[in-house]
Every structure is written in C-alpha cells, then in structure tokens.
C-alpha cells in the first residue's frame, strides 16, 4: 500500500499507537514509529510511551480515544494476556504478547518477537550451530524457544530457579551448545555495566551469541563473548523486524 494512500486515508483521522511497559523512557519504539509516520506522510498518527507502575493501569490506556493498538514490553508481555479478548495462534502457543490490536472494541494479542527473532536467527546461524542455551524465561525467552522448537533446534533454558541456573551452569555445557541467546534485561541502559553471571570460558569462535538488548549496542555480555571469538549479534535487527510486523498488524490485519 503506497504512502500516498496512507496520506489521504489518515488526513482526517486521529490514530494513536504506543508502548506499555515499566521504566521504558529509553525505548526505541517512539522514534522508530514517528520516523515511519514522517516517511509515509501520516499526519493523523501518533505514538506515545505509557509507563505503567502496575499492569492494571492498562485499563486507562484502553480508554484512550482513537487507540489503534500498542506494543508491550518488560515486564507485561505475559500479564497483559488477562486483559485481552483474543490471542493469535502464535501468541497463544508462546504464552506472551508484545503487540495488541484494538478493533471494534475487541483487544487481540499477537507476538511479533517470534517473527523478529526468527529473522535474526536465520540470518546468522551456521549449520554446526544446532543446539541452544536460552538465558531467562520471561516473555521474550518464550518467543525465542518457540522459534527454536519450530526449527527443531534443541534448547536448554537457564534462569535463577531452573535446575541448571546461573550459579551451576558450567563451561562444558556452554561448549556443547553453540547458540547462546541472552533474553534478560540485565545490562540494559542505564545499567550498562551489569552482566549476567556466565561461564564465558565455554564460549568459542564456533558460537553464535545473540543478546536481545539493543541499548546499549554492545552490552557487557556481548563484549565478553566477543573477546572469546564468538559471532555476536545485538537485539536491534530483531526489534526493527518485530516493529515492522506490528505495523503490518495494525494497518492490514483488519477484515
């Protein structure tokens, strides 16, 4: 659909989009979508940051006039589900939502993280990288596991309270799993000096290390993995791709 069509379609409309999360002033989403509105000459669109202390505050967001939908980030990707009317098949299987479409009063949850991560994984994965360690078990980690399962890549989830956790994960286990995906917020701006406890000595030049954080571009986790010779990727491309998928849902999903 052309930018010209969007321009005429939206001139007399007031379509609002946004992002809900907690402590999200650093988010890339507002600038990304405002740049998109400008590029497509969409004068009737706006994108707002909704920083919520608790998830129940989302009820106030749903009452915002002209709200077309919103993105969802930490820590509400799972909690938002109780406030929705429907889930896409993918979101239901994953158990997490990062995109909400509001249409005719109905609120439907989608997961575009899976789309973004899949694009990232397939762009960088080599044939010998055939098993993975997922660090974290929140909403983003669930989307990552969904994609790995889809591509028949066995994975081990490591978190604070899993059988294998940050304290007992060893070098040998890391050596065996050539894909490492860091899905926690540890190291996100402004806490850029923070880093997960991890046996980096198990990382080799045969590893692919993906950190879903995009701000900063190089987390301590990425830096330490890179020092061991691994191929390292941050979360920016995934973020960009999931945002494009969300845009598609908001604008083209309607019957």
pLDDT at residue number 120:
98
How many whole angstroms separate alpha carbon 156 and alpha carbon 145? 9
Catalytic residue among 77, 107, 178, 231: 77
Three-class secondary structure of residue 214 per DSSP:
coil
Rounded alpha-carbon distances, angstroms, from residue 109 to 94, 181, 239: 11, 24, 17
Provide the whole-model pTM.
0.89
- Describe the strand order of the beta sheet including 155-158 as a list of residue ranges: 155-158, 132-135, 179-182, 208-211, 231-233
CA 37 to chain centre: 21
Q: What is the pLDDT of residue 46?
A: 95
Nearest Cα to Cα of residue 175 among 142, 214, 135, 131? 131
Output the pLDDT for position 252.
73
Q: Assess contact for 197 and 219: CB atoms under 8 A.
A: no
- Specify the pLDDT at position 25: 83
* 16 labelled catalytic: no
Nearest to 31 by CA among 43, 15, 13, 19: 19
Given this model, what pLDDT does residue 162 score?
95
- pLDDT the model gives residue 9: 41
* Local structure of 232: helix, strand or coil: strand
Q: Which pLDDT score is estimated for 191?
A: 95
How many helices (H) and strands (E) are present in the chain, helices listed first?
A: 9, 11
Which parts of the chain have pLDDT scores under 70? 1-13, 253-255
pLDDT on residue 253:
59
Domains of the chain: 3-111 (3.40.50.10860), 114-237 (3.40.50.720)
Is 185 in a helix, a strand, or coil? coil
d(C-alpha 33, C-alpha 48), whole Å? 10
């Amino acid at each position: 659909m052309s930018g010209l069509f969007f321009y005429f379609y939206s001139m007399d409309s007031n379509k609002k989009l946004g992002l809900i999360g907690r402590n999200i002033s650093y988010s890339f989403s507002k600038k990304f979508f405002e740049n998109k509105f400008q590029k497509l000459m969409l004068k009737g669109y706006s994108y707002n940051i909704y920083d919520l202390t608790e998830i129940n505050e989302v009820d106030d967001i749903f009452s915002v006039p002209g709200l077309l939908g919103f993105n969802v980030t930490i820590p509400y990707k799972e909690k938002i589900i109780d406030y929705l009317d429907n889930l896409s098949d993918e979101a239901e299987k994953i158990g997490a939502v990062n995109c909400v479409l509001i249409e005719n009063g109905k609120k439907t949850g989608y997961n575009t993280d899976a789309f973004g991560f899949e694009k990232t994984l397939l762009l960088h994965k080599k044939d010998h990288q055939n098993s993975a360690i997922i660090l974290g078990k929140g909403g983003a980690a669930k989307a990552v596991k969904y994609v790995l399962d889809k591509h028949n890549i066995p994975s081990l989830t490591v978190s604070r309270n899993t059988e294998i956790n940050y304290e007992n994960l060893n070098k040998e286990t890391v050596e065996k799993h050539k894909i490492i995906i860091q899905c926690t917020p540890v190291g996100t701006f402004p806490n850029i000096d923070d880093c997960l406890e991890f046996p980096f000595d198990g990382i080799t030049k045969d590893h692919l290390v993906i950190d879903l954080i995009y701000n900063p571009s190089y987390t301590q986790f990425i830096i330490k993995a890179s020092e061991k010779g691994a191929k390292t990727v941050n979360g920016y491309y995934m973020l960009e791709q999931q945002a494009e998928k969300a845009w598609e849902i908001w604008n083209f999903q309607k019957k």
